[in-house]
Structure 1
Amino acid sequence: MKHLKVLLMATMAVIGLTFTITAPSAAAATADGTQVTCGRSGYGVGLYFNSDIKGSKRCIYGDVSNYAYNGTLCTSQGCPPYRFELDGRNGEGQLVKNNAASVYNYSGYGISIFFGSGWSGPWDSFPEYGYAGSALWYGNLNSTYNENASHRRTAQG
């Protein structure tokens, strides 16, 4: 009986160790290799702090007329700005407004990134995800490189 108890305790320890080892690694991996994923539903747009789809990322769903106000997180004290949010990557915690260098359009809509708030001024456009034409749905910003203030979707592909 004593051997059975020791065996049972050893088995439980191994099971606990297995869960301890596998749970964190499974949680860290996502479809696009980051901790924050945009996915393919809705109007997901990934804005990146660095060129070439690198550095910290912020995923935003829907149209945004001013990155200085995140309307989805408003409280009685006001609305916080959008910030880059990948842990430990260059740009983490920095404001999205006037700090994005590249974009990955995960949505089924074309997207335009604008220089000014309220969808004004020069812009960079990216077609919907998977577009097979001459333009890519991801890349570095040109007209709005580190001067981005808003974005909105354009015609559906």
Structure 2
Amino acid sequence: MTNIRRALVVALPAAAALAFSVTPAQASVGIHCTGDASCGTFWYNSGQNGSRTSFTGTGGINGSIKDLAGYKFLDSGAGQGTPVKNGAASFYNGSGAPTTIFYNSGWNGPCDTVAAYTVANQLVNTYNDNASFAFGASGSNCYKFN
């Protein structure tokens, strides 16, 4: 085995483990919203059914998720353990300001904006195509849930 091959055999598994263990410092993930922080819950199925995962943050881009890759539905029910990215059908905004869900990572593309303390029983522009979201954001040209 060449030195290059040997290095790749050691480096690739380590890089893969690192890529899937990093999480944003400004947001926390769980099943329920807690405290007074900005909070949003994604559900695997429409109508707030199936497994869910809640994100809490500080509000604004600093507490938002630029890429949902690596996050999974945590609660019991249909979809438990599957990725949240491109897998959510409904959303609850437990924040006092709008939250916008984006089709693409990096807060880009078609979007759905959910008003404060509002349920989106079935996402429109990001139904099973959700890649990022921003607390306190009201995207332009988004479908609006009021």
TM-score (normalizing by structure 2): 0.66
Q: Distance in 1 between matches of 2:53 and 2:128?
A: 14
Q: What fraction of aligned residue pairs are identical, expressed as a percent?
A: 37
1:110 pairs with 2:98:
yes
Q: Distance in 1 between matches of 2:36 and 2:106?
A: 24
Q: Which has the higher helix share?
A: 1
Task: Indicate if the aligned counterparts of 1:39 and 1:106 stay in contact, CA closer than 8 A.
Answer: no
Which residue matches 2:21? none
Task: Indicate if the aligned counterparts of 1:40 and 1:108 stay in contact, CA closer than 8 A.
Answer: no
Matches within 5 A, 1:2-151: 36-39=31-34, 41-61=36-56, 62-68=63-69, 81-87=70-76, 89-129=77-117, 137-139=118-120, 140-151=122-133
Structure 1 segments of 4+ aligned residues over 3 angstroms from their partners: none
CA 1:125 to 1:155, structure 2 compared with 1: closer, same or farther past 3 Å? closer
Q: What SS does the aligned partner of 1:41 have?
A: coil
Q: How many pairs were matched up?
A: 102
Q: Displacement of 1:141 after TM fit?
A: 0.5
Question: What's the RMSD between the two structures over aligned residues?
Answer: 1.7
Structure 2 gap ranges (5+): 1-29, 57-62, 139-146
Q: Distance in 2 between matches of 1:85 and 1:152?
A: 20
Q: Displacement of 1:99 after TM fit?
A: 0.2
Q: Displacement of 1:110 after TM fit?
A: 0.6
Q: Displacement of 1:36 after TM fit?
A: 2.5
Q: What SS does the aligned partner of 1:98 have?
A: coil
TM-score (normalizing by structure 1): 0.61
| Matching residue's letter, 1:82 | Y
